[in-house]
Amino acid sequence: MRATFSRIQKINPELIPPAGSVPFGVTPSGRQLYRLATPRSRAVPDIDPVTGQQRWRKNQMTGEPLYALNRPQSYEQVRIFYLESQGNGNVVLIPWAPPSAEELARAQKAQRVAEMQEKLAEALVDSGMEPVDLLASLKAKPSVTTSATQSVNVEVPAATVTGVTYPEMYAPGRWRLSNGTTMQGKRTDATEAEERVQAAKKAAAETPEE
């Protein structure tokens, strides 16, 4: 008979920083940061203050230099970190450093792109457009440009255009009818306007000339 093992529950103790740690703000994701300064010592070259040269241990018999001498130097090691539970009862210190200028620029760019995508989606929904409509407008021929900031749409008579289904979308939310007129609105509005144009054409064709 196969034994059944119960799922081991994670152990997440309270996140208590080491003694001497002080709060140091929060990360962009909201994690509490701490700053811990610890006194340390390191070896540095022993320089003669008179000659400015490295001191050496010399052979007592021959005076030949054997190895360079060092002296201890005290300093303060500063660490910035946040705490994270490993789920097994252990808490680790995760080093943290403020983002560089390049990282900040990338984050700001990503935020602007996300905001622009949201605004574009809202504009498409408000205009009643579908993604296929947007692709069709991007494939359409561009308007005639007269300057860097101004463009003029060239109206093409419907009689000279072949293979075009009306209403024709020539820009997001903008439609051209078979009689050459343009309008702005949803596809359903443009379809109803085109139906009225076709009805008027049919009535005109059926009306005998006097």
- Going by C-alpha positions, the residue among 143, 207, 153, 145 that lies closest to residue 180 is 153
pLDDT at site 156? 42
Who contacts 15 (Cβ-Cβ below 8 Å, separation ≥6)? Answer: 32, 83, 84, 85, 91
pLDDT at site 178? 85
Would you give per-residue pLDDT tens digits along the chain (210 residues)? 566 666 778 888 888 999 999 999 998 888 999 999 999 999 999 999 999 999 999 998 998 999 999 999 999 999 999 999 988 889 999 999 888 888 888 888 988 898 888 888 887 787 777 777 777 777 765 554 444 444 444 444 443 445 678 888 877 778 888 888 888 888 888 888 888 888 888 877 777 665
pLDDT at site 53? 93
What is the pTM assigned to this prediction? 0.44
164 and 176 Cβ atoms separated by less than 8 Å? no
Q: Spell out the domain ranges in the chain.
A: 22-98, 131-206
- Going by C-alpha positions, the residue among 144, 149, 147, 123 that lies closest to residue 134 is 123
Task: For residue 50, give the amino acid letter.
Answer: V
pLDDT at site 146? 47
